[in-house]
């Protein structure tokens, strides 16, 4: 059996095992043949790594932006349940160099720190939060992100009974070492990379995806939430209570209300009654003056007519 056939069978078996491993987990996803899942209890980094081991994995390694995007989408399940929660991942900050190192000791070639220029060795552990890496104190209590590949990204494949001659080199995205050693029937296992297999023209170069600043996105989401929570002020209970009286079914309260209404009626009615004679007198005087004025005007018109008639009689020309 050729080495290509063996690798094909191993790949099929790994994918089948991966689907079985991920299918029974509540929060899980797959990316590039890697299964990721979330430990839904909070603990420090050491305990999180132990729980990952007990569930068949390790603290997660995120080798590229494809895996990162898949993990971020997983955290957004169930209404962003873990998107805004810190998740321990399988890295730490190297003390002398302030660089990102896998727990296994390998230098990480992919990272996504929100501020890569602010690394400090005082906080050695690393967490994932809203899609970005952040430094954490290892004793902090957070959730954990697991994956089914070890931090060294190496797996052991079943033994081969025939001698295999090297025909090509195999590269991983995190290492430039090649596997060209022939295998004999006396060897019990071979070490094969669990990540992508490339031809001899591949080069393992570091990649860094810089994500845009999230300020605009967060501001837009905040504005949406603010608009959704706005209500009409006139519909508020406080506004309605200002315009109505509280209901009081007690007979004593009703009696006091009636008495108050009667008092207001008597007060207003008394004022009107006291001013009524004066009002009537003023109206009567005004009517008398109006009639007198009209009478004088009529008499003046008659006088003028008679005077004019007399003048006409005396001076016919």
Q: What is the pLDDT of residues 13-27, one digit of tens each?
A: 554 454 445 655 667
pLDDT at residue 75 is higher than 80: yes
Name the residue among 152, 149, 155, 157 with its Cα closest to residue 10: 157
What is the rounded CA–CA span in Å between residue 255 and residue 250?
9
Percent of the chain surpassing pLDDT 70: 65
184-230 pLDDT per residue, tens: 333 333 333 444 444 444 444 443 443 445 677 788 888 888 888 88
pLDDT at residue 115 is higher than 80: no
- Domain ranges across the chain: 3-193, 248-317
Name the residue among 51, 49, 52 with its Cα closest to residue 35: 52
Contacts of 57 (CB under 8 A, 6+ apart): 35, 37, 146, 147, 148, 149
The alpha-helical segments, DSSP class H, found in the chain are 3-23, 45-54, 65-75, 77-80, 215-229, 237-243, 251-314
Q: Which residue has the higher pLDDT, 298 or 245?
A: 298
What is the rounded CA–CA span in Å between residue 302 and residue 298?
6
Using CA atoms of 17, 19, 24, 29 in order, give the dihedral in degrees to the nearest 10: 130
Integer-rounded Cα radius of gyration of the chain: 47
Q: Which residue has the higher pLDDT, 47 or 300?
A: 47
pLDDT at residue 63 is higher than 60: yes
pLDDT value for 56: 86
Beta strands in 57-181 (DSSP E): 58-59, 87-93, 100-102, 125-129, 132-136, 142-147, 154-157
- Mean pLDDT, the chain, rounded, equals 73
Contacts of 286 (CB under 8 A, 6+ apart): none
pLDDT value for 213: 55
93: three-class secondary structure by DSSP: strand
pLDDT at residue 176 is higher than 70: no
Phi/psi at 40 (nearest 5 deg)?
A: -90, 25
312: pLDDT confidence band, cut at 50, 70 and 90? Answer: low
| CATH homologous superfamily of 3-193 | Mannose-Binding Protein A, subunit A (3.10.100.10)
pLDDT value for 6: 60
pLDDT value for 144: 95
What is the rounded CA–CA span in Å between residue 248 and residue 258?
13
Other beta carbons within 10 Å of 196 = 14
Q: Would you give the DSSP letter of residue 113? A: B
226-274 pLDDT per residue, tens: 888 888 887 778 777 777 766 777 888 888 889 999 999 999 999 998 8
Highest mean pLDDT among 10-14, 84-88, 99-103, 200-204: 84-88
């Amino acid at each position: 059996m050729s080495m290509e056939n063996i690798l094909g069978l191993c790949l099929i078996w790994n994918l089948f095992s991966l689907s079985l491993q991920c299918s029974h987990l509540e929060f899980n996803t797959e990316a590039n043949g890697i299964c990721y899942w979330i430990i839904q209890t909070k603990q420090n980094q050491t305990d999180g790594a132990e729980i990952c081991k007990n569930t068949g994995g390790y603290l997660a390694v995120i080798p590229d932006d494809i895996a990162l995007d898949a993990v971020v989408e997983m955290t957004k399940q169930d209404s962003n349940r873990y998107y805004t929660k810190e998740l321990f991942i399988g890295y730490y900050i190297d003390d002398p160099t302030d660089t990102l190192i896998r727990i296994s000791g390998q230098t990480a070639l992919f990272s996504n720190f929100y501020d890569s220029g602010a690394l400090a060795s005082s906080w050695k552990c690393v967490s994932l939060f809203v899609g970005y890496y952040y430094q954490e104190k290892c004793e902090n209590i957070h959730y954990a992100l697991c994956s089914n590949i070890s931090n060294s990204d190496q797996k052991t494949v079943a033994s081969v009974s025939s001698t295999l001659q090297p025909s090509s080199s195999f590269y991983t995205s995190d290492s430039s070492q090649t596997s060209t050693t022939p295998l004999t029937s006396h060897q019990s296992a071979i070490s094969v990379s669990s990540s992508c297999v490339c031809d001899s023209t591949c080069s393992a170069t570091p990649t860094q995806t810089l994500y845009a600043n999230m300020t605009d996105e967060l501001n837009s989401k905040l504005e949406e939430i603010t608009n959704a929570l706005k209500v009409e002020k006139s519909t508020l209970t406080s506004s309605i209570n200002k315009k109505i009286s509280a209901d009081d079914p007690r007979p004593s309260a009703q009696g006091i209300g009636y008495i108050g209404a009667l008092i207001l009626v008597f007060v207003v009615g008394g004022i009107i009654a006291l001013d009524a004679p004066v009002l009537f007198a003023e109206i009567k005087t005004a009517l008398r003056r109006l009639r007198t004025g009209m009478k004088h005007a009529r008499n003046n018109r008659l006088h003028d007519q008679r005077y004019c008639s007399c003048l006409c009689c005396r001076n016919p020309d």
